[in-house]
Amino acid sequence: MTTTNDRQIGGEHYKHSEIQHWDWAWKARLDSFQYPITKYVARWKNKNGFEDLDKAVHYLEKYIEVVEDKVYVDIRGDEKQIFSEWSNAEKLDETQSTICWKISSWIKVKLLADTLEILRAYIEAERGGEPGPSYTNQDRQDVTIKITGVSSEGKGGL
């Protein structure tokens, strides 16, 4: 029987994974901002390149605006396992995995802001030191970030 995962409109960028992004997003109960941010970060190497990363920054900036002064309350218990299965199936690099984990499991807005800086540093590194159009704040301090992977100590932390 053919399923919707067996066909794709507009490319082949999701067919390489045993667990497609939308399947993970549904299981992880991502909201309408988490979904596109993680989608763009996960697929950028296989689809639209830096345009996808710039879109992820744009969505994350808006997400931070709308959740300002809010606290995310998690009621899930199995999100790490679900995330690990998807991240491994997607073959995300360590930084992509870190960004997607932080977006999908944030607790305080500060963690989203920190993730925005990680994403910006990632784009700059991938562009060979060129910041690109997503950098509108010329006063920001340079950020040096060492990504070590998803923490086993709890949500949102590395």
- Domain coordinates of the chain in residue numbers? 17-126
CA distances from 82 to 62, 63, 157 (A): 26, 23, 17
Token code pair at residue 31: 């909201």
- pLDDT (average), residues 70-75: 59
* Tens of pLDDT, residues 94-146: 999 999 999 988 888 888 999 999 999 999 999 887 655 544 433 333 333 33
The predicted structure's pLDDT at residue 132: 56
**Residue % of the chain over a pLDDT of 70:** 69
